[in-house]
Amino acid sequence: MHRLARSCSGQMASVGFIGALVVAVGVLCITVDVSHGLLVQHQLKSASEAAALAGASELTLAPGMSQEALKRAGLNAEHILASHSPDRVPITTEDENTTIDVLVDGKRMPRSIEVRVERNVPLVFGRFFGIQNYPVVVSSVAQASLGLLAVAPGQLTNLAVSIDTSPTEGPAAKEKVNAYKAATGITLVVGGNKKEEKNASWIGDWKGADSPLVSFSNPLKSPDSEQSSYADIQEGHTIIIPIIQGDPPFLDGTMVGFTGFLVEKKNPPNRLRGKFCKVVLVGKPGLDTDRANKRDKEANSTFLYSAAPWKVMLVR
């Protein structure tokens, strides 16, 4: 009787051990499959980020975005995806377990491209438990932006130039801010009583180069009276000035960009002769230049695109 009890107890212990062993092996197998799926997910994410950045770089090549340019950005992103092979399987739609969506938005600033990849990663051990695949979804977004949306303090001089004003009189008569004048030189007339001569104006929101945080949501205004800033500007120095849409003097002037201005010669009391130049500014990227192109789209766009650097960045 005691021998039979010990035998039954031993059998139950063996069954319990075997059951626990099966569960442990099952958990181990699932852990291996899930770890493999997470590895593939990481590889897919890295590939989608590279593809998004490659596509976004294509969005910087033209002032205007044609359907052909948008298509080229998408194809470039897909090409970069196909060059990656997570789990030794290229990321293409030829793989029945992979779905790819590339969304390109080139109509507004900042231009953007989203790359989304879905893949059902086949499981090695999970199929024994009725689980065939481990679904993985990744998404990456990159942006291409022109210039700055907001400029950090202490960088801008309180002088602004109009992008669409062509004076009818004076030394700047018929000289309009565009790519040609940016390269050959232009005279800025910033003071005096004759409005017909002016293409620039002092800014009353700050003095000298002691600018606050400047963004496009805060229009700039001309001061109530002429300031002494002219005397502070030196020949041979490069100043950084806002570009404003509208005729000076500016009343709630709409900013459309920023540029460097190399002062070559001063002609007192109110004239500066020089050339526009590229500068490196610190601030928030994403300038919408479309707002600047109402009167002379080609000239304004060309100038802004030549005066402001593109920025390509991963945002998600």
In the block, residue with structure tokens 């017909």: 196
d(CA 307, CA 241): 12
- Vertex 289, ends 285 and 290: CA angle to 5°? 135
More confident residue, 249 or 224: 249
Query: What is the model's pLDDT at position 47?
Result: 93
Residues 95 and 183 in one domain: no
Range of the domain at 115: 29-145
Residue type, 277: C
Single out the residue of 185, 195, 170 nearest to residue 246, CA to CA. Answer: 195
Residues 182 and 222 in one domain: yes
Residues 193 and 84 in one domain: no
Residues 180 and 75 in one domain: no
Over residues 218-230, the pLDDT tens digits come to 677 777 555 557 8
Residues 238 and 136 in one domain: no
- Please enumerate in sequence order all residues whose Cβ is within 8 A of that of 83, keeping only pairs 6 or more positions apart, or say none: 90
In the block, residue with structure tokens 């000035």: 241
Number of domains in the chain: 2
Is 190 domain-assigned?
A: yes
Mean pLDDT of 280-284: 63
Residues 137 and 174 in one domain: no
Least confident interval from 23-37, 101-115, 260-274: 23-37
Q: Which 3 state secondary structure label does DSSP give 147?
A: strand
- Please, are residues 276 and 260 in contact by the beta-carbon 8 Å criterion? yes
Average per-residue pLDDT in the chain? 76
pTM, entire model: 0.55
Mean pLDDT of 59-76: 83
Is 293 domain-assigned?
A: no
Tokens of 91: 């990321």
Residues 138 and 77 in one domain: yes
Mean pLDDT of 58-72: 80
